[in-house]
């Protein structure tokens, strides 16, 4: 009997010892895992956190392992760990903030918003919670709300560079490009190399006509990722607008190689050929632009212009017909169709188009002048002289000569 009691006593002592030592072992493993996490050795850190959890399943350990999974973009595993952490201890704001972030990345937007709001109810100064809520609001297209949350996150933690980047993306969606560029400046000024940030800042420098800055940013984006056709397209636009024709053409061609169905690039390269009076090449590119986007109004109209400039007036009329069909209020298409008809001797038809042009754009002196010439060719001298007078009043000098020739005086 005494032996049994002694044995039980030893077991009890061992159990007590285990209960005392077990948390210490868990904490030791957790601390080692934390060191690995800081060294960005996330897989090894996860092994360490898992070992700590096996000894003592503390909420803190689950949360830490969730962060390691998050760093590896394993959001399903991260979600499970963050959920476990909030289950074990729902009083820690950071756990809820992390859970909300994982839910958002997995498309559980409403659940994410609930989690982040719980985090902020526990700690109204939680920068990460405001940041995550900003991301959630942006996903719901509440860009003004997102900007407010990113701003609060930055106020609480000015080192949160991702908040500057995300705020810039939301500023773009409310067309505040200057402020967006400012936030990209702060993000990239930290020394971060981000393809998306360089690309976006480059795009909006283009829209702000800062072509030199656009070229610098888009070139950096291209150096990071040389497979993005849009980057080379935008580079082409920037070079074109800064008179770098050879580099513009090279960039457009690179974009087409990356995306052979990129209609906007064909259009832009086609326009460069048109400006160089390379009509055959221009028409070839505009053909491709229209092939991949049959309702590309500017391409249809520009092909008509290229055909007219190359002497194919019948072909130009067909394109201007198509442009007018796409936009019945396209004054320039009516005007240029009238010019082509006039050159072909179709003056009555040309006058109809000039009438339509002036109805849409009454302040176009060239339309009055050319309608006057067509009226001369249809023996409507009174109408012709009236048109020359209108053009003269608008300061169109060539009309003075026509007035003298056909009307006898100015």
- Return the domain boundaries, the chain: 329-410
Q: Average pLDDT, stretch 44-63?
A: 89
Q: Average pLDDT, stretch 358-364?
A: 96
Residues 6 or more apart whose CB falls under 8 angstroms from that of 261 comprise: 292
pLDDT classification of 153: cutoffs 50, 70, 90: very high
Rg (CA), the chain: 35
Q: What are 168-205's pLDDT values in tens digits?
A: 999 989 999 889 989 999 998 887 788 999 999 999 89
- DSSP for 303-364, written as a single string: HHHHHHHTT-HHHHHHHHHHHHHH-TT-HHHHHHHHHHHHHTT-HHHHHHHHHHHHHH-TT-
Q: What integer pLDDT is reported at residue 15 of this predicted model? A: 45
CA–CA dist 132, 118 (Å, integer): 12
Phi, psi of 396 (to 5 degrees): -90, 100
Higher pLDDT, 259 or 5: 259
Q: Cα separations (Å) of 178 from 134, 169, 308, 375? A: 20, 12, 41, 51
Q: Average pLDDT, stretch 141-159?
A: 95
Q: What integer pLDDT is reported at residue 149 of this predicted model? A: 95
Instruction: Say whether pLDDT at 256 is over 50.
Output: yes
Q: What integer pLDDT is reported at residue 387 of this predicted model? A: 96
Q: Average pLDDT, stretch 333-339?
A: 98
Instruction: Say whether pLDDT at 370 is over 90.
Output: yes
Q: What are 66-97's pLDDT values in tens digits?
A: 999 999 999 999 999 999 999 999 999 999 99
Least confident of 19-33, 53-67, 138-152, 213-227: 19-33
CA–CA dist 202, 212 (Å, integer): 10
* Alpha-carbon torsion angle 109, 110, 111, 114, nearest 10: 120
Q: Considering only CA atoms, which of 41, 37, 114, 102 is closest in space to residue 76?
A: 102
Q: What integer pLDDT is reported at residue 215 of this predicted model? A: 97
Annotate 381-406 with b (16+ C-beta within 10 A) or e (fewer).
eebbbbbbbbbbeeebeebeebbeee
Task: State the average pLDDT for the chain.
Answer: 91
Q: Cα separations (Å) of 144 from 131, 153, 166, 186? A: 14, 14, 12, 20
pTM for this structure? 0.76
Q: Work out the percent of the chain whose per-residue pLDDT is above 90.
A: 80
pLDDT classification of 8: cutoffs 50, 70, 90: very low
Architecture of domain 329-410: Alpha Horseshoe (1.25)
Q: What integer pLDDT is reported at residue 20 of this predicted model? A: 54
Q: What integer pLDDT is reported at residue 338 of this predicted model? A: 98
> Tokens 């020739």 sit at which residue?
405
Contact yes or no for 282/307 (Cβ under 8 A): no
Q: What integer pLDDT is reported at residue 19 of this predicted model? A: 45
Q: What are 395-407's pLDDT values in tens digits?
A: 999 999 999 999 9
> Tokens 């503390």 sit at which residue?
58
Q: What integer pLDDT is reported at residue 14 of this predicted model? A: 42
What does the DSSP 8-state code read for residue 287? H
Q: H-helix or E-strand containing 59? A: helix 59-71
Q: What integer pLDDT is reported at residue 181 of this predicted model? A: 87
Q: What are 297-312's pLDDT values in tens digits?
A: 999 999 999 999 999 9
Q: What integer pLDDT is reported at residue 16 of this predicted model? A: 52
Q: What are 108-131's pLDDT values in tens digits?
A: 989 999 999 999 999 999 998 999
Q: What integer pLDDT is reported at residue 54 of this predicted model? A: 85
């Amino acid at each position: 009997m005494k032996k049994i009691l002694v044995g039980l006593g030893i077991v009890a002592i061992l159990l007590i010892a285990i209960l005392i030592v077990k948390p210490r072992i868990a904490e030791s493993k957790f601390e080692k895992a934390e060191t690995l996490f800081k060294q960005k050795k996330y897989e090894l850190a996860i092994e360490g956190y898992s070992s700590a959890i096996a000894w003592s399943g503390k909420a803190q350990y689950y949360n830490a392992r969730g962060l390691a999974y998050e760093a590896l973009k394993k959001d399903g595993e991260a979600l499970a760990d963050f959920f476990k952490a909030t289950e074990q201890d729902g009083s820690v704001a950071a756990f809820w903030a992390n859970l909300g972030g994982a839910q958002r990345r997995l498309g559980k937007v409403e659940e994410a918003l609930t989690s982040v709001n719980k985090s902020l109810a526990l700690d109204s100064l939680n920068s990460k919670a405001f940041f995550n809520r900003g991301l959630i609001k942006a996903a719901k297209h509440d860009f003004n709300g997102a900007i407010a949350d990113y701003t609060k996150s930055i106020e609480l933690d000015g080192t949160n560079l991702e908040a500057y980047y995300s705020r810039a993306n939301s500023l773009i969606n409310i067309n505040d490009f200057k402020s967006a560029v400012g936030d990209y400046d702060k993000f990239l000024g930290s020394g971060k190399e981000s393809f998306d940030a360089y690309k976006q800042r480059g795009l909006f420098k283009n829209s702000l006509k800062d072509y030199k800055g656009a070229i610098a940013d888009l070139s950096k984006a291209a150096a990071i990722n040389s497979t993005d056709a849009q980057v080379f397209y935008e580079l082409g636009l920037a070079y074109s607008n800064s008179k770098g024709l050879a580099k513009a053409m090279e960039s457009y061609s690179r974009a087409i190689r990356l995306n052979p169905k990129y209609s906007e690039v064909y259009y832009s390269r086609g326009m460069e050929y048109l400006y160089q009076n390379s009509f055959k090449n221009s028409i070839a590119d505009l053909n491709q632009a229209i092939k991949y986007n049959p309702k590309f109004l500017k391409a249809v109209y520009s092909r008509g212009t290229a055909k007219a400039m190359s002497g194919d007036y019948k072909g130009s009329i067909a394109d201007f017909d198509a442009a007018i069909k796409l936009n019945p209020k396209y004054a320039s298409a009516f005007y240029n169709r009238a010019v082509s008809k006039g050159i072909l001797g179709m003056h009555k038809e040309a006058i109809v188009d000039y009438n339509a042009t002036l109805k849409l754009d009454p302040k176009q002196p060239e339309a009055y002048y050319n309608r006057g010439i067509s009226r001369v060719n249809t023996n409507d001298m009174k109408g012709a002289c009236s048109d020359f007078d209108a053009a003269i009043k608008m300061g169109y000098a060539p009309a003075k000569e026509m007035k003298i020739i056909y009307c006898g005086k100015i």
